[in-house]
């Protein structure tokens, strides 16, 4: 069953939500295997695209001149991006595993992790948009991807984690709540770091 654990197979699974849950449920992958074969390689993709795009074209944030960040700065941002992604996958899986009892889902951490990867897959693929570092283009690509991710979350959770439709719906909503709170915390922490003098030069 190891053949399942390739990014390529996962990319194909997201186009077949009906099948994806059952495929994930069919085996119990090892946590280290999921980590090494899926989480880490996939988390490398968006930072890589962001680096290439940022170095070649510069980020268009404002309407003015594109913002060129120094190679050192860009490396640092890409690294932070990578760490945030890995942390995001892992923490979401930990939260899902923690809630498993309450919602009668299966308990193997590897399954939770691979499910979270499946859900994150559309967004990872959409990070292709980072190659053209323009906010509007990225929004255009990211939004449908994000909606697809949400759909996969609700659609595949019951089968993949072995719980009933109804409890799966509750669990998916709880995960949405966690993801929202986690992203806003990330936003808050970044902002505190900026206003504390780390990162861009702010006049505060």
Partner 1 sequence: MRAIDLQRRLERHSGWLIFGILLVSSIGGLVQVLPSVLDDGLATPAAGTVPYDPVALTGRDIYIRESCSTCHSQQVRPLLAEVLRYGPFSKAGEFAFDRPFLWGSKRTGPDLHRVGGKYSDAWHRIHLLDPRAVVPDSIMPAYPWLAERPADSGGMIQAKMRALRRLGHPYTDAEIEAAPAALQGLTEVDALVAFLQGLGASGSGGSP
Partner 2 sequence: MVAWLTGFAIFWSLVGMAAGIYVAAELVWPTLDFGREWLSYGRLRNLHTNVVIFGFGIAALMGTAFYSVQRTCHVPLFAPGLAWFCALAWQVVILLGGLSLLAGWNGGKEYAELEWPFDIAITVIWVSFAVVFFGTIAKRRIQQIYVSNWFYGALIIVIAMLHIVNSQAIPVAWSKSYSLFAGAQDAVVQWWYGHNAVGFLLTGGFLGMLYYFLPKHADRPIWSYRLSIVAFWAFTYSYIWAGPHHLHYNAVPEWVQSLGMVMSLVLLAPSWATLVNGVMTVAGAWEKLRTDPALKFIVLSLAFYGLATFEGPMMAIKSVNVVSHFTDWTIGHVHSGALGWNALITFGTFYFLLPRLVGAELYSHSLANWHFWLALAGVMLYVLAMWGAGVSQGLLWLSLDEIGELRYSFKDIMASMAPYYALRLVAGCSFFIGAVLMAYNLWMTAKGRSVVRATPPPVVGEAW
Select from 46-54, 65-73, 97-105, 196-204 the region that touches partner 1 (CB under 8 A).
196-204
Cβ-contact 39, 45 below 8 angstroms? no
Per rule CB under 8 A, is residue 198 in the interface with partner 1?
no
Q: How many residues bind partner 1 (CB under 8 A)?
A: 4
Gap between the Cα atoms of 32 and 110, Å rounded? 8
CB of 203 to partner 1, least distance (A): 3
* Rounded Cα–Cα distance for residues 18 and 81 (Å): 31
| Residue 204 contacts partner 1 per CB under 8 A | yes
Does 192 contact partner 2 by CB under 8 A? yes
Cα 74 from Cα 80, distance rounded (Å): 10
Tell whether residue 198 is a contact of partner 2 (CB under 8 A): no
Q: Is 63 near partner 1 (CB under 8 A)?
A: yes
Q: Rule CB under 8 A: is residue 80 a binding residue for partner 2?
A: no
Structure tokens at 116: 């979270």
Residues 3-62, interacting with partner 1 (CB under 8 A): none
Report the residue from 5, 135, 157, 159 that binds partner 2 according to the rule CB under 8 A: 135
147 binds, among partner 1, partner 2, none (CB under 5 to 8 A by kind): partner 2
Q: Which residue, 1 or 65, has its beta carbon nearer to partner 2?
A: 65
d(CA 30, CA 152): 22
User: Which of 26, 61, 79, 107 is in the footprint of partner 2 by CB under 8 A?
Assistant: 61
- Whether residue 1 contacts residue 27, with contact meaning beta carbons closer than 8 Å, is answered with yes
| 32/203 with CB nearer partner 2 | 203
| Cα separations in angstroms, 33 against 21, 99, 116, 179 | 19, 23, 14, 24
**167-194 CB burial, b ≥16 within 10 A, e <16:** bbeebbeebeebbeeeeeeeeeeeeeee
Closest listed residue to residue 77, CA positions, set 68, 67, 69, 87 = 69
> Which positions touch partner 1 (CB under 8 A)?
63, 202-204
> Which positions touch partner 2 (CB under 8 A)?
60-64, 102-103, 135-136, 139, 143, 146-147, 150, 164-167, 169-170, 173-174, 176-177, 180-181, 183-185, 187-188, 191-192, 194-196, 200-204
């Amino acid at each position: 069953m190891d053949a399942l654990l390739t990014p390529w197979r996962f990319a194909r699974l997201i186009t077949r939500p009906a099948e994806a849950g059952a495929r994930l449920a069919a085996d119990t992958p090892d946590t280290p295997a999921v980590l090494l074969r899926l989480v880490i390689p996939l988390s490398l993709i968006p930072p890589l695209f962001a680096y290439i795009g940022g170095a070649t074209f510069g980020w268009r944030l404002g309407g003015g001149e594109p913002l060129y960040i120094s190679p050192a700065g860009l490396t640092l941002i890409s690294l932070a991006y990578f760490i945030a992604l890995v942390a995001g996958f892992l923490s979401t899986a930990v939260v899902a595993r923690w809630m498993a009892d309450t919602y009668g889902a299966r308990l193997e951490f590897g399954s939770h992790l691979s499910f979270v990867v499946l859900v994150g897959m559309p967004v990872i693929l959409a990070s292709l948009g980072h190659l053209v570092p323009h906010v509007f283009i990225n929004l255009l690509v990211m939004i449908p991807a994000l909606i697809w991710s949400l759909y996969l979350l609700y659609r595949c959770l019951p089968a993949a984690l072995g719980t009933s439709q109804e409890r799966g719906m509750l669990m998916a909503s709880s995960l949405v709540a966690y993801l929202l709170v986690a992203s806003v915390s990330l936003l808050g922490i970044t902002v505190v770091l900026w206003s504390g003098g780390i990162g861009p030069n702010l006049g505060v």
